[in-house]
Structure 1
Amino acid sequence: MIFGLFLNNYHLRSQTSKEAEIYNWFDKNIGIESLDIKNGAAHLNFDNTVENQNRYYFTENFRKGTLRYNNQNYYDVLLKYDIYKDDLVLNPYDEANTTKINLIKDNVENFSINNEKFINLKVLNPSFFKGGFYEEVLINSTSALYIKYFKEKKKDQKEESNLIQYIPRYEFVLLKDSKYYLINGKKEIIALFPESKRKINDYYFMNKSLKKENPALFIKNLVKYINN
């Protein structure tokens, strides 16, 4: 049975790899000008920021990723995620090219960068949630955590400085029993998992430094810990 499961897993990975090769060959041979993803507004960024700060998720450099756009899969495309504007940015040619395109958001179903999957949560009510792209962390067959990364812009506090600061912010949404809940605070989490109140309090007490240094990882680990 174990050997059979290994073969099935290997077969699925082989299928995915083969599919990526086919799509890449097709995209390369028909030319970027014919691809649907070339449509979109130019991405412009004239920020003069404080050192080591930018408006992007993870890095301001383009990284190879995957994309589901207008019902079409794309592999090994150069992407970066502008979390200040909530725009997915594409370099449609190569890393040396300066052309950058903001993909049409409504056409983006999901994308992956650095093995992290983001989906377009169009179902969320904008009066209660920020909406747009969220990292998806599957917990079990009925639950998932969605993390909204965004940044707030403000000017540097130094006198006569025109530099911009970007302050990281987060929104955490839990899908539980087919409903979406904001869980930006401990009280909201305990209200959803009252039977785990002691575990939640212990986790907060033991992971104070992680909560401060990496809020997203803190919540990821907490939700997994509760559901373990």
Structure 2
Amino acid sequence: MKSLNWPFLFLFSAIINIPPLAAQEAQDPMAAYKWFDAVVGKENTGLFNGIEYIEQHVTVNDRQKFLGSIYYSPGSLVYEGQPYYEVDMKYNVYDDLLLLRGTGSKPLQIHQSRIAEFHLDGYDFININADTTAAVHGFYEVLLETGQLKLLKKHRKKYRKFLDRSYTYYEFYDDTPGYAIAIEEDFHPANSRREVISAFPGNAREIRRFYRERRKLSKNNPDIFMRELAGRLEQLSHSNTAGK
């Protein structure tokens, strides 16, 4: 006699006994996913498939390697094509790792290549699964999305190493971010005027003028400068299309 598949029986029993309220919420896809995770338990889903994260750097103050805070915040992500909501997680900027609150005392390091996107503390990130030698790869924040163009920002951290009498510790600081532009999922680095012109060779004159006229803004607030540049490139793209 074959042994019973208890996880399957549990899931089947849960589904056929959906309470009326949950059935109504199932009409909303997000509510349905939340209900399913609550019934099964996120730790029993395909999301909790990874290794225990071991911290490699000792820190002693708030100069740390994470986005915003070392503490977990509720966020959402798409993992192996499946959306998950209200997941406790944090983003290790320096190592470019998304970590989840594990079932033990250590964070859970899930398979980064299986993450399509995540949303945390008001930031929206996509994962560019290119070869690590490519100019654009890893987690990028979506700063702007207009038409067929996306403006992306790569958060970065740098560190200083301190040698105390009895141990070594590190302090992490925000480093110069990287930028990229995606045109119909074709990713181009955009960290300099030359790189932008390389992505839009037909608009070289306008791009040079833009950099020249907004040189001060590019130094004082590069995010705003890049947003304005992306908007201008979108306009030029429409003009070029209309002129054909």
1:70 aligns with 2:77: no
Structure 1: stretches of 5+ with no match in the other structure: 1-14
Please state how far the C-alpha of 1:147 moved relative to its aligned partner: 1.8
Please state how far the C-alpha of 1:46 moved relative to its aligned partner: 5.6
Change (3 A) 1:60 1:126: same
Q: Distance in 1 between matches of 2:136 and 2:186?
A: 16
- Aligned with 1:107 (options 111, 114, 134): 114
| 1:64 alignment partner, SS class | strand
Spell out, residue by residue over 1:130-183, the C-alpha distance to the aligned partner (whole angstroms, 9 max, x if none): 522111234322211222223233414x78683313243322111236632211
Contact 2:193 2:208 in 1 (8 A): no
Matched with 1:172 is 179
TM, length-normalised to structure 2: 0.71
Q: Distance in 1 between matches of 2:170 and 2:27?
A: 42
Q: Distance in 2 between matches of 1:159 and 1:76?
A: 40
Matched with 1:219 is 226
Matched with 2:57 is 47
Please state how far the C-alpha of 1:184 moved relative to its aligned partner: 1.1
- Aligned with 2:28 (options 15, 18, 25): 18
Q: Distance in 1 between matches of 2:75 and 2:52?
A: 20
Change (3 A) 1:154 1:71: same
Q: Distance in 2 between matches of 1:24 and 1:153?
A: 38
Spell out, residue by residue over 1:71-109, the C-alpha distance to the aligned partner (whole angstroms, 9 max, x if none): 21111111111122211101156xxx7341011112211
Spell out, residue by residue over 1:172-206, the C-alpha distance to the aligned partner (whole angstroms, 9 max, x if none): 11123663221112333355342243233222224
Matched with 2:71 is 61
Spell out, residue by residue over 1:23-45, the C-alpha distance to the aligned partner (whole angstroms, 9 max, x if none): 11111111234211111111222
Q: Distance in 1 between matches of 2:72 and 2:192?
A: 33
Largest Rg, 1 or 2: 2
- Aligned with 1:34 (options 39, 44, 53): 44
Matched with 1:152 is 158
| 1:84 alignment partner, SS class | coil
Q: How many residues align?
A: 205
| 2:171 alignment partner, SS class | strand
Q: Distance in 1 between matches of 2:27 and 2:87?
A: 15
- Aligned with 2:220 (options 179, 201, 209): 209
- Residue identity matched to 1:146: L
Q: Distance in 2 between matches of 1:145 and 1:173?
A: 6
| 1:67 alignment partner, SS class | strand
- Aligned with 1:133 (options 126, 135, 139): 139
Please state how far the C-alpha of 1:114 moved relative to its aligned partner: 2.2
| 1:38 alignment partner, SS class | coil
Q: Distance in 1 between matches of 2:101 and 2:142?
A: 24
What percent identity do the matched residue pairs reach? 21
Matched with 1:7 is none
Change (3 A) 1:130 1:60: farther
